[in-house]
Structure 1
Amino acid sequence: MDRNRGGWGDGVFDALLALALVVFGLFGTEPAGLNQGVGIGRATYPLVVVAALALAGRRRWPLATLAVVTAATTAYLVLGYPYGPILISFFVAVYTVAAYRPLRTAALAGGAALVGLVAHVFAGVRPTGLTGLMPVAAWVVVPFAVGTTVRLTRESAARGRVDEARRLADAERLRVAREVHDVVGHGLAAIHMQAEIALHLLGKRPEQAEAALTAISRTSKEALDELRVTLTVVRRDEAADERSPAPGLDQLPQLRERLAGAGVPVSVEVGGEPRPLPVAVDLAAYRVVQESLTNVLRHAGPATATVRLRYAPDEVTIEVVDTGRGPVAGPDRVGGYGLAGMRERVTVLGGSFAAGPGPAGGFRVYVTLPAEEVA
């Protein structure tokens, strides 16, 4: 809802403010006149009441409110009545226009109000001449400046909230895109390799081709199940499928089996005492291993791979090395999306990432992730 149209609470507040200014005007105008040596007249209180009551709709109709209050205040001053509580109503009306209307519109309305008030300086019962221009200008400039400051602050805060929401949405989209990249990339790479094996064996050894096709079916189902779990973050109205747990290091045996079926033997070595890890760390560790092995499948050629996990009290390290042909030009092996995605996953958690030629050839990915022990 637009702020200048207010809600129920704003309407109540404005009504109470109008009533308060009515009471203040009724009881404060005559004492103000006595202090200034100026009397009041028949139209004094009606004009004070009109100016105050007009503020009840100030946020709903700020320009109309300013017009009514300016007319009442101008008539009041032209008739020579004392400077008093009616000027507070005028202040509030100018402030409201500046706070709830665009700067150009508010400036034009404020200028018109200033012109109206200047009338009593030259044509009122008690004209003050040029010496009265400065106080009249202040009655408009001060509330206008305050209202403009409030409006700009409110707009800046609103832009900040929008920018933060956009930033969070972009981060969420990037995270989902990274997850989908890892899941689909690994699944398709394994399926592609298994399909090549099946085509090669189909005419010569159909029973082995059947095994490769079975592996394709299993790999595609596992990839779809994992993708479904990943995308539940987008469709928040649907609960995650509890039959498909979130990926983690406990799923390395299935990953190793898929790679073996695609023709890449993988060995896993574990050091330290395995323990449950924080969910974010567990997922990042699994994705690093998955993406590294996917790159082996895509780019290393005939090769084997070794995954080494080491659990320390305050961190977990992952090392993936292969016996392939080492770094080659490609989107994932040299400065591409796969390595960039792994690096981002690791660094956002406060870990370290390194990738390059292995000590004995091939390619090596080495990652450390902070992981305090889970109670």
Structure 2
Amino acid sequence: MDREQGRWAAAPRWWRQGPPWWNRWDGESTSRLPWRSTLPLTVFVLVGSNFASEAQAGERVALDPFARVLLIVGCALLLFRKRRPVLVAFGTALTAMLYLGAGYAYGPVFFTVALGFFSALVAGHRRAAWGAVAMLWAGHVLVGHWLYQWLPRSGDHAAPWGQEVVVAAWLAAIGAVAELTRVRREQWDKEREERAQAARRRADEERLRIARELHDVLAHSISVINVQAGVGLALLDSDPEQARTALTTIKSASKEALGEVRQVLDTLRTPGDAPRAPAPGLDRLPELVEQAASAGLTVDVEGKAPRLSPGADLAAFRIVQEALTNVVRHSGSRRARVRLEHGGGALRLRVDDDGPPTGTDAGGSGNGLAGMRERAAALGGTIEAGPRADGGFRVLAVLPLSDQERKEDDR
């Protein structure tokens, strides 16, 4: 299997994905008739049949107006090979059968049959395509071995069976090429659909990532703003100075939230460009502690994280941020502890508070824990969250370290 996949990967791109003209050729079926390809073929069939007639003079009947009408009708039918492939397959086979039955020269007339057969087969009408070819061959045998006595030229003898074998082999070769093309087209269509599905999955994953980022940024900042707005309203008359401090905190938190939202949305406006500012990581824990303090929550941080990749660093930061946001929203405790441990190839993030739960929501969406689990799962980690036996609440995240991070951790 690996060897076959290797051969497939080494194949030219056009063989794996289809030639560049394929989609344009296929697109003609519903928009317009394929004049540009049919007209040159008609000229080739008419001119080539004249040469064939001269080369077979004395053996076959010379071309006359009726022969040229049959050739033109067979070519004209090819204009509808996309819209009515079955009709075209039988129509071209019938006109070729009449042409050959009338004793005219063998030649390019078979190209009309081949293209009609090819179009029907590639369109998925296999039985009709092979039925049309079988009808042509059966008609040729019938004329060559029985009806020749009553058809031009007079004095003909029965056709040699070797000729029938040649005609059958020629038709079989056309069928083999058409079958191969049909299989390749199905593979191209399947691969095109798989690429489209992969692109849709990537788009969905990117939308989920952006939604998760916006949720984490806004939930934390709005929780701080909510708490400080309540403090400001409560102290507006009795302690204007403290109310001013609360409003200053609201301004700072909202400014920071706008900056992070702008950073996330910049990736939508300029896809592929590097972000203007680095993604946040655990090095910004002091800012989280300061923001939590402005919301009335004291945070103690223990331990130090190793050097992490940007994705892992961002996920760890957002998990701690969301955990502290949930403490501000839902816990009656005004103190929380963040502990960072690393060893055994994993980073452990633990956020504890002493509770009790307040039952308030503070404007949250309820997706915080789900977002944390998704971030951890994307890195191959886990999240455990639940009440502690002593009445508090704990969030424990275990994030595996990459090989490079493990080497630096061992140092």
TM-score > 0.5, shorter chain as reference? yes
User: 2:393 maps to which residue?
Assistant: 363
Matched, 1:285 2:316: yes
Checking the alignment, whether the CA contact within 8 Å between 1:58 and 1:93 is kept in structure 2 is no
Residue type of the alignment partner of 1:4: D
User: 2:19 maps to which residue?
Assistant: none
1:74-153 alignment runs, 5 A limit: 74-80=97-103, 87=110, 90-100=113-123, 110=129, 117=136, 120=139, 124=143, 126-127=145-146, 149-153=183-187
Q: Offset at 1:315?
A: 2.8
Quickly say closer, same or farther: Cα 1:150–1:307, change in 2 above 3 A: same
Determine the C-alpha separation between the residues in 2 that align with 1:368 and 1:60: 59
Residue type of the alignment partner of 1:207: E
Residue type of the alignment partner of 2:334: A
Quickly say closer, same or farther: Cα 1:17–1:79, change in 2 above 3 A: closer
Q: Offset at 1:98?
A: 3.5
Q: Offset at 1:316?
A: 1.9
Matched, 1:177 2:225: no
Residue type of the alignment partner of 1:319: R
Instruction: After superposing the two structures, state which structure 1 stretch, 281-290 or 247-256, moved more.
Output: 247-256
Q: In the TM superposition, what whole-angstrom CA distance separates every residue of 1:4-35 from its partner, at most 9, and x where no partner exists?
A: 247xxxx999999999999999999999x9xx
Q: In the TM superposition, what whole-angstrom CA distance separates every residue of 1:177-212 from its partner, at most 9, and x where no partner exists?
A: 111111111111110001111111111111111111
Q: Offset at 1:159?
A: 2.6
User: 1:73 maps to which residue?
Assistant: 96
Checking the alignment, whether the CA contact within 8 Å between 2:333 and 2:353 is kept in structure 1 is no
Quickly say closer, same or farther: Cα 1:69–1:331, change in 2 above 3 A: farther
1:1-375 alignment runs, 5 A limit: 2-5=24-27, 39-43=59-63, 69-70=92-93, 73-80=96-103, 87=110, 90-100=113-123, 110=129, 117=136, 120=139, 124=143, 126-127=145-146, 149-236=183-270, 242=276, 244-271=277-304, 274-275=306-307, 277-312=308-343, 314-325=345-356, 336-358=366-388, 360-372=390-402, 373=404
Checking the alignment, whether the CA contact within 8 Å between 1:308 and 1:319 is kept in structure 2 is yes
Quickly say closer, same or farther: Cα 1:329–1:108, change in 2 above 3 A: farther
Determine the C-alpha separation between the residues in 1 that align with 2:53 and 2:389: 92
Number of residue pairs the alignment of both structures matches: 354
Q: TM-score, normalised by structure 1?
A: 0.73
Residue type of the alignment partner of 1:94: F
Checking the alignment, whether the CA contact within 8 Å between 2:223 and 2:325 is kept in structure 1 is yes
Q: TM-score, normalised by structure 2?
A: 0.67
Determine the C-alpha separation between the residues in 2 that align with 1:220 and 1:181: 14
Q: Offset at 1:314?
A: 3.4
RMSD over aligned CA atoms reads 5.0
Q: In the TM superposition, what whole-angstrom CA distance separates every residue of 1:340-375 from its partner, at most 9, and x where no partner exists?
A: 111111011111221112354311111121223458
Determine the C-alpha separation between the residues in 1 that align with 2:213 and 2:46: 64
Quickly say closer, same or farther: Cα 1:241–1:305, change in 2 above 3 A: same
Checking the alignment, whether the CA contact within 8 Å between 1:350 and 1:370 is kept in structure 2 is yes
Determine the C-alpha separation between the residues in 2 that align with 1:330 and 1:258: 19
Determine the C-alpha separation between the residues in 1 that align with 2:283 and 2:214: 20
Quickly say closer, same or farther: Cα 1:237–1:168, change in 2 above 3 A: closer
Partner of 1:350, secondary structure, is coil
Q: Offset at 1:49?
A: 9.0
Checking the alignment, whether the CA contact within 8 Å between 2:335 and 2:353 is kept in structure 1 is yes
Q: Offset at 1:153?
A: 3.8
* Uncovered stretches (5+) of structure 2, i.e. residues with no partner: 1-22, 29-34, 149-163
Quickly say closer, same or farther: Cα 1:128–1:237, change in 2 above 3 A: same
